[in-house]
Structure 1
Amino acid sequence: MISLHYRNLWWSLSSDFNIDMDTYSEGEKKKKEKEFNTLIDRIIKYIESFPEDISKRKIWRDKGNKYIDKIISTDGMFKLGIIDKDMKDKFIKATKEFISSSKKFDKNLSYEDIGQAMRNLWIVNMLQQAFGEEIKFTNAIFGYSMLYPYTDNYLDSIEVNKDKKIEFNNRFTKRLGGEKIIANNYHEEQVYRLVQLIEDDFDRENYPEVYRSLKLIHSAQINSLRQQEYNSIPYEKDILGISIEKGGASVIADGNLIRGEMTKNEEMFSCGYGFLLQLGDDLQDIKDDLKNDHITIMSQLAGKYYLDAIVNKLINLTIKVVDDAECFVCKNTKELKELIKNNCIYMILFAIIDNKEYFTQEYLENIKNYLPFTIEFCEGLKADISKKFKNLKKEYHGVEIEEIIMYFCEL
């Protein structure tokens, strides 16, 4: 059983610090901070240069796309430069199709919601490359990815009472089982439309694994509601099991949506990848989870014990899962594994800084060497970027900012 494998692996992993990544001197950090600020300022300035003359807008868009290509090809920090041109072009094409489809599906969707769903698209794209399949956007992948803001956020919301969540889950379970349920409200209608997009690509009779995995992730979401019941103590609930189940099921569903089913090795990696991403999310969300009494491995310990050792386990889990994966059949296997590992570990490192009060000073001194920026810069990064983008005008030459972004994302 895959979940048992990852449970045993988790307990067997060392809690010692073990990162084999580039380190940065203070001088290099300051240089990268300056380069990053310059990059953001240039992007802002470029948006502001949106031309009034309609005939010049395509040139503006093409020039901007070339600039993004240049950034990706020269990136050394997140290892994006190791992506070959074909992979990069298809990755960007799938992203643009996703953004365009999102606004067509629901014009009221926020870019935060689209960004959350798009992260799942990128996971699928990585799996497509690893499994030797073509990187591409499909309606099924869109449907499943968009279920995140429509279902996961709904079930996590403290503004929705438990009875409504249970009623929604019961009806959604029937819809995932193939029943034609009449939606009670707009929210349900949108959710059922997303399921229909998956059904349009994969009929239930020929692709049972697709629907088995969708039911699996939904069951895991229902079980994760147990994390919201009350502030439990360690060993009272199987929080580790819930994390493996929910995280693993999520990416197993991703994998099955690539061609309808996976090999055993592909499913093994997908489960482990989902598990480590789930723990990474839990690390990022510590403060919100503590505030809302949502219990995860991280929030259950935060404030009671320092998280140094458990995060070391997470880093070691990331390295082990990716290094041991036997399902990578693409021509650039070594580079792709390095890309996945590095970006997962960077996610962890930045999350540590966002929650630094839960770590020892000694640990922070240790991990800061692997950060491309200073701790102070990292702490203000989100706020600084948000402030710069908020200073943009609502429209340029009669075209709203969102429309400009959508135009830029056209193919």
Structure 2
Amino acid sequence: MIYNELKERWWRTSSLFKLTTEKTSYFQKKKKQKQFDVVIDKVSEYVKSMPKEESKRDQWEKDGETLLDEFIEKDSILKMQYIEEKLKEGISKSTKEFIKAARDFDKKLPGEDIGQAMRNVWIINMLQAVFQDNIKFSRAIFGYSMLYPYTDNYLDNTKISKEDKKQFNNRFSLRLKGKKVLDQNRYEEKVYKLVDNIEEVFPRLEFPRVYESLLKIQEGQIKSLMQQETVTVPYDTDIMGISLEKGGASVLVDGYLIRGDLNKEEEEFCLGYGFLLQIADDLQDVKEDLKNSHMTIMSQLAGKYDLDPLANKLINFTVDFMDNHNCLKGKDNLRELIKNNSLMLILFSIILSREYFSDKYVKKIEGYLPFTIEYIEGLKDKLSRKINRKDVQNYEQNN
């Protein structure tokens, strides 16, 4: 029922441009870019300054926390000043505990994959704040967050055949149902161990909805294979329904991993938040999805029509959902934090996929960005140059 309500809400949402957030002038953008360059330089210097002596490591980590606090206080881009002290401390503690657990679990796991999983830990921390629970990390949160890189990347790998993916999904579905499954390789062994982590915190008989929600996202994953290697046209396949199920279910699991159960309002918030994040991710990945013939709401139309109306619909859906959902009533700071970061994800994705939008639309969007288009397009390379991969690997290996 909630899925149908969200689908109807999406179709009712206007595709006209209605963004009313504060604009940033060219000179303000240049000022913010200089400020952000200073942050990048400080982070680069900090990572490179990691002492080899373990006795000096505690002070080095405290310096890092001071650097983070300074960034939060001065930040005018992600609106991180909206983070309340309790949430900030909880996220910091969760981050440290997660990184340690991830390294202990798989020392060879790439930093990019840790970052991908870390994003889900932060989403759970945000939900904990929304639902007024303690901000904390658990083995169940670790297990599910790590399933992101282990399963998503496997299913998105174009070098793995559709049949192999199908067989993997069949075995994984059985494991999620609590069946004993013989792993086929070391990779699957790790995947099943991650499920073990969830079961340790939430016994199946006591918390059935945790596993019902995990199976729901697995069903979404299986359906999403329909989006791979098959070029479709609108209405040929319910691509929007697949995105709603996959994205909504992913954050619904996050919600259930907080305390094992949710009320209807909390369920609805998780599903809506997950849906809009999924569509934003589809926008971010549109170029890669087109290249690999992965059909999403965005890639289905990209290159055939300008994506301006779809992006407007996503922006309007996000603003309306965040401004009016009961879960965020009376939580103005938290609402602004989540809404602003969701909008920034969408706006940055538009710029990084700007060949699929009209020039007029891109020019309009630029006014709401904290940086110039040229700066955003060069940001990834700048970060790679300034924060050297070897320095990050050195940090990971020594912690």
TM-score bracket, normalised by the shorter chain, equals over 0.9
Q: Does residue 1:376 correspond to 2:374, yes or no?
A: yes
Q: For 1:2-401, list aligned pairs within 5 A.
A: 2-328=2-328, 333-390=331-388, 400-401=394-395
In structure 2, what is the Cα distance between the partners aligned to 1:196 and 1:364?
47
Q: Give the SS at the match of 1:306.
A: coil
**What is the TM-score when the length of structure 1 is the normalising length?**
0.94
1:295-346 per-residue CA deviation (whole Å, 9 max, x = no partner) reads: 00100100000011110000011112212221247xx611111111100000
CA contact (8 A) 1:48 1:392 kept: no
Q: Give the SS at the match of 1:342.
A: helix
In structure 2, what is the Cα distance between the partners aligned to 1:54 and 1:232?
56
Q: Does residue 1:402 correspond to 2:396, yes or no?
A: yes
In structure 2, what is the Cα distance between the partners aligned to 1:252 and 1:52?
42
CA contact (8 A) 2:47 2:392 kept: no
Letter aligned with residue 372 of structure 1: P
In structure 2, what is the Cα distance between the partners aligned to 1:233 and 1:289?
15
Q: Give the SS at the match of 2:192.
A: helix
Cα distance change, pair 392–27 in 1 and its aligned pair in 2 (3 A):
farther
In structure 2, what is the Cα distance between the partners aligned to 1:394 and 1:83?
26
Cα distance change, pair 187–54 in 1 and its aligned pair in 2 (3 A):
closer
CA contact (8 A) 1:44 1:392 kept: no
Report which stretch shifted further, 58-67 or 242-251.
58-67
Displacement, 1:74?
2.5
Q: Give the SS at the match of 2:151.
A: helix
Q: Give the SS at the match of 1:370.
A: coil
In structure 2, what is the Cα distance between the partners aligned to 1:391 and 1:94?
23
Displacement, 1:72?
1.2
1:145-183 per-residue CA deviation (whole Å, 9 max, x = no partner) reads: 110111111111101101111111111111001012121
Give the % identical residues: 51
**Which consecutive segments of 4 or more residues in structure 1 shift more than 6 A?**
none
Q: Give the SS at the match of 1:102.
A: helix
Task: Mark the runs of 5 or more structure 1 residues left unpaired by the alignment.
Answer: 407-411
CA contact (8 A) 1:18 1:316 kept: yes
How many residues align? The count is 399
Q: Give the SS at the match of 1:44.
A: helix
1:409 aligned residue: none
Displacement, 1:35?
1.1
In structure 2, what is the Cα distance between the partners aligned to 1:74 and 1:403?
31
Cα distance change, pair 383–132 in 1 and its aligned pair in 2 (3 A):
same
1:254-303 per-residue CA deviation (whole Å, 9 max, x = no partner) reads: 10111101000000111010100000000000011000000001001000
Task: Mark the runs of 5 or more structure 2 residues left unpaired by the alignment.
Answer: none
CA RMSD, 1 decimal: 1.5
Displacement, 1:62?
1.2
